[in-house]
C-alpha cells in the first residue's frame, strides 16, 4: 500500500496495515497512518542504528521502524503483559526478533535502570509521564539523537483548539509542561508539529554550552 507525506512516498508493508486494523478492532491504541508515515520519514532522515521505544503495544510501530531501518536494533518497553507477549510473537512472525530487546514493566522503572546509547527515541507510552522520562532519556541519548514524542496535542486540548474535558486537565497540564521543558531546554532543538495527534520532534545537542544570555 502506498501513502504520501509531502513529496515523499513511503511504502508500508500490507501486513502492518492488517496488524493495525486488527489491533484497532480490539481497542489497542497504535500509531495512526499520518503519524506512522511521519515517523518513517523521520527515520529515513535520521538513519538510526539503536532505537528506543516506550510503549510497544503489540509491536506495530516497532516492526515498521525495523523494516525502515534494516540494520538497526530496537529496545522497546511495554507495561501490559498480554501486549508484550503478543508483540514478541509478532516480532518472530515478521522476522525481526533477533534485532529486538523487549522489556515488560513500567517504563519509568526500566529506564532508570537501563544502560546503553540510543540515537533515536520513539516516546509513545503514558503521556502524563513524558516529562518524568526526560532525565533518563537524555542520559541514554547520544549527541544528535532524535526524540520523537507522539500525541502531544491530544485531540487539540493541549493547544487549546478544543476545550479540555473536565477530567483531562491533569494530563493536558502535564503534556504542556513537557512541551515547555523540551522547547526551553538549550540542549534540545524542538518543533511541535500538527501531525497525527501532535508530534514533538527534538534533536539532542549534548555538547551545547550555555551562553551568558541563557544563564
Ligand atoms: C499508544 S500505545 C503504543 C503504540 C505503539 N507504539 C504502536 O504505535 O504500535 C501506548 C502503550 O504504552 C503502554 N504503557 C502504558 N503505561 C506504560 C508504562 N508505565 N510503561 C510502559 N508502557 C506503558 C500501554 O499499555 C500501551 O500499549
pLDDT tens profile 162-197:
999 999 999 999 999 999 999 999 999 999 999 999
Query: Does residue 107 contact residue 3 with C-beta atoms inside 8 Å?
Result: no
How would residue 12 be classed by pLDDT, with cut points 50, 70 and 90?
confident
Q: Could you read off the pLDDT of 112-133 as tens digits, one per residue? A: 999 999 999 999 999 999 999 9
What angle do the packed helices 14-25 and 60-68 form, to 10 degrees?
170
Choice from 33, 35, 56 to test ligand 1 binding pocket (greatest atom count within 8 A of CB): 56
Mean pLDDT of the chain: 92
Query: Does residue 54 contact residue 123 with C-beta atoms inside 8 Å?
Result: yes
Q: What is the pLDDT of residue 8?
A: 53
Q: What is the pLDDT of residue 206?
A: 85
How far apart are the C-alpha atoms of 20 and 159, rounded to whole Å?
27
Q: What is the pLDDT of residue 7?
A: 44
Query: Does residue 57 contact residue 36 with C-beta atoms inside 8 Å?
Result: no
Choice from 32, 84, 126, 154 to test ligand 1 binding pocket (greatest atom count within 8 A of CB): 126
What is the whole-number distance in angstroms between the Cα of residue 57 and the centre of ligand 1? 5
Counting other chains too, the contacts that 53-56 makes at CB distance below 8 Å and 24 or more residues apart are: 53/77, 53/121, 53/122, 53/124, 54/107, 54/111, 54/121, 54/122, 54/123, 54/124, 54/125, 54/133, 55/107, 55/122, 55/123, 55/124, 55/125, 55/126, 56/83, 56/84, 56/87, 56/102
Q: Which residue has its alpha carbon closest to ligand 1 atom 26?
A: 57
Residue 109 exposure: Cα atoms within 13 Å on the Cβ side = 6
More confident residue, 7 or 22: 22
Q: Could you read off the pLDDT of 70-110 as tens digits, one per residue? A: 999 999 999 999 999 999 999 999 999 999 999 999 999 99
Q: Which residue has its alpha carbon closest to ligand 1 atom 13?
A: 55
Domain annotation for the chain: domains and CATH numbers? 2-208 (3.40.50.150)
Q: Could you read off the pLDDT of 192-213 as tens digits, one per residue? A: 999 999 999 999 998 756 666 6
Whether 48 is in the pocket of ligand 1, judged by its Cβ within 6 Å, is: no
Whether 90 is in the pocket of ligand 1, judged by its Cβ within 6 Å, is: no
Task: Give residue 65's Cα distance to chain centre.
Answer: 10
Whether 40 is in the pocket of ligand 1, judged by its Cβ within 6 Å, is: no
How would residue 13 be classed by pLDDT, with cut points 50, 70 and 90?
confident
Residue 153 has pLDDT above 80, yes or no: yes
Q: Which residue has its alpha carbon closest to ligand 1 atom 18?
A: 106
How would residue 25 be classed by pLDDT, with cut points 50, 70 and 90?
very high
Q: What is the pLDDT of residue 189?
A: 97
What is the whole-number distance in angstroms between the Cα of residue 56 and the centre of ligand 1? 5
How far apart are the C-alpha atoms of 1 and 201, rounded to whole Å?
26
Amino acid at each position: 500500500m502506498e501513502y504520501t507525506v509531502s513529496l515523499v512516498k513511503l511504502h508500508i508493508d500490507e501486513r502492518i496495515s492488517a496488524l493495525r486494523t486488527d489491533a484497532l478492532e480490539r481497542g489497542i491504541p497504535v500509531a495512526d497512518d499520518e503519524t506512522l508515515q511521519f515517523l518513517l520519514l523521520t527515520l529515513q532522515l535520521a538513519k538510526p542504528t539503536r532505537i528506543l521505544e516506550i510503549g510497544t503495544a503489540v509491536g506495530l510501530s516497532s516492526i515498521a521502524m525495523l523494516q525502515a531501518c534494516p540494520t538497526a536494533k530496537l529496545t522497546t518497553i511495554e507495561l501490559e503483559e498480554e501486549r508484550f507477549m503478543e508483540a514478541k510473537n509478532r516480532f518472530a512472525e515478521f522476522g525481526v526478533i533477533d534485532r529486538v530487546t523487549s522489556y515488560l514493566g513500567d517504563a519509568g522503572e526500566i529506564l532508570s535502570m537501563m544502560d546503553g546509547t540510543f540515537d533515536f527515541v520513539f516516546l509513545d507510552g503514558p503521556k502524563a509521564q513524558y516529562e518524568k522520562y526526560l532525565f533518563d532519556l537524555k542520559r541514554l541519548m547520544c549527541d544528535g539523537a532524535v526524540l520523537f514524542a507522539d500525541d502531544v496535542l491530544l485531540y487539540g486540548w493541549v493547544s487549546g483548539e478544543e476545550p479540555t474535558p473536565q477530567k483531562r486537565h491533569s494530563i493536558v497540564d502535564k503534556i504542556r509542561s513537557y512541551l515547555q521543558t523540551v522547547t526551553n531546554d538549550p540542549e534540545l532543538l524542538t518543533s511541535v508539529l500538527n501531525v497525527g495527534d501532535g508530534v514533538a520532534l527534538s534533536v539532542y545537542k549534548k555538547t551545547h554550552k550555555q551562553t551568558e544570555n541563557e544563564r
